[in-house]
Structure 1
């Protein structure tokens, strides 16, 4: 597939959308839009905060939201209550767009509990499943550790890693459902993806917003511990 057919946008909370939301500015979440320009279909990865703005942004590109990919259940990624704040997420999105929410099998219960979204909208996946958006294939990888059903997405030489792996560091393993031993296994799995794969993390916790896996393995201390 030619690169000009792939639709891929990285959107930073508090800057590209939810500009006036102080929490969004502090949390610096990334949302991703991935799709096929030829068919006009796309999915949103971890839509939270100003979800209607996110739909407007992709529609301005002549794209339509046909689904959601959730990396994990935390409210800053899928919506819900966090630190006394109510964050818009997939429940609010469904009020505007009727679409499936793709989650990892082990995360289904956690997402439902956090967001209030019912099973009729949640589609459970196993590691290795491929979601096709037009001619764009997205491979789902189960990467537990930060949460039981954390998952990452491989698409056209890009790795969308949620809170499993950042350019510097990895996701916390001291929260409910976390498991340090499983995180080590997941990092080893991600360490085997091709070096020229570009890592796109779930937060902007570094000066750069993306980097090749070769660069990440050189500068990220977690790979020294594996």
Structure 2
């Protein structure tokens, strides 16, 4: 009698993911990693560094990486509107971690992170134990804005919000690049992808999906760059 061996179904590594609203500008800070190896990354740690460290410790996670969606002070630390925000520099005093930033903005982080900086580009992959994080370069809000795709979750920073997108009227912003990032990068993702934005700008809604944003987000309803620019006040 022959014996048929069936391959066991593939199982995704168990994802560790925490979303925490911190600071005075309704920022979301994320902790992601592997529950198997207990390695974790913190995304955009600008505010309440003690609390971030305490959360990781309570969950028995070791912070090995710091990920920056972009280098505005409310996401990485520094001076903003007269405030000195703690940010990455203070976190590095507490943990030994590599700082992942897009190469277009790496120089902005040198005063905060120094030799800890790792420059990345679109399509690069970071491994947190057995959990893979894919880098998506999404310029528009800033030249080096990037999103992080981990399993079926997109941590979208200030590129894509729930029912809106990031500002394109700031120094270094580009409405043309924002349109391209939204249309040709993020809208290519599966509709079921969970969207986790960089700020709580949606009246307490903490997440959405690509499919929902595709249908309802006003910033994603423009069929051409010309109409998008006109809506953004740049035509």
Same fold at TM > 0.5:
yes
Counterpart Cα distance in 2 of 1:127 and 1:158: 17
Cα pair distance change 1:63/1:151, threshold 3 Å: same
Determine the structure 2 residue equivalent to 1:108.
Answer: 106
Cα pair distance change 1:12/1:2, threshold 3 Å: farther
Q: Pick the aligned partner of 1:159 from 151, 154, 157.
A: 154
C-alpha displacement of 1:46? 0.3
Q: Is the 8 A contact 1:146 1:163 kept in 2?
A: yes
C-alpha displacement of 1:157? 0.3
Determine the structure 1 residue equivalent to 2:221.
Answer: 224
C-alpha displacement of 1:217? 1.4
Determine the structure 1 residue equivalent to 2:145.
Answer: 150
Q: Pick the aligned partner of 1:11 from 4, 12, 20.
A: 20
Larger displacement relative to structure 2 (214-223 or 137-146)? 214-223
2:131 matches 1:136:
yes
Q: Is the 8 A contact 1:72 1:111 kept in 2?
A: no
Counterpart Cα distance in 2 of 1:75 and 1:35: 24
Determine the structure 2 residue equivalent to 1:201.
Answer: 197
Q: Is the 8 A contact 1:168 1:205 kept in 2?
A: no
The count of corresponding residues between Structure 1 and Structure 2 is 212
Q: Is the 8 A contact 1:44 1:65 kept in 2?
A: yes
Give SS of 1:161's match: strand
C-alpha displacement of 1:220? 0.6
Q: Is the 8 A contact 2:13 2:34 kept in 1?
A: no
C-alpha displacement of 1:4? 7.1
Aligned-residue Cα RMSD (Å) equals 1.3
Structure 2 counterparts to residues 31-110 of structure 1, below 5 A: 31-110=29-108
Higher CA-based Rg: 2
Counterpart Cα distance in 2 of 1:56 and 1:185: 39
Q: Is the 8 A contact 1:153 1:159 kept in 2?
A: yes
Q: Post-superposition, which runs of at least 4 consecutive aligned residues in structure 1 deviate over 3 A?
A: 1-4
Gaps spanning 5+ residues in structure 2: where?
1-9, 224-235
C-alpha displacement of 1:3? 5.9
Determine the structure 2 residue equivalent to 1:21.
Answer: none
Q: Deviations over 1:124-163 (max 9, x none)?
A: 0010000000000000010001001000000010000000
C-alpha displacement of 1:38? 1.0
Q: Give TM-score, length-normalised by structure 1.
A: 0.90
Counterpart Cα distance in 2 of 1:128 and 1:146: 19
Q: Deviations over 1:98-140 (max 9, x none)?
A: 211000010101233xxx2244111000100000000000000
Gaps spanning 5+ residues in structure 1: where?
14-23
Counterpart Cα distance in 2 of 1:146 and 1:137: 25
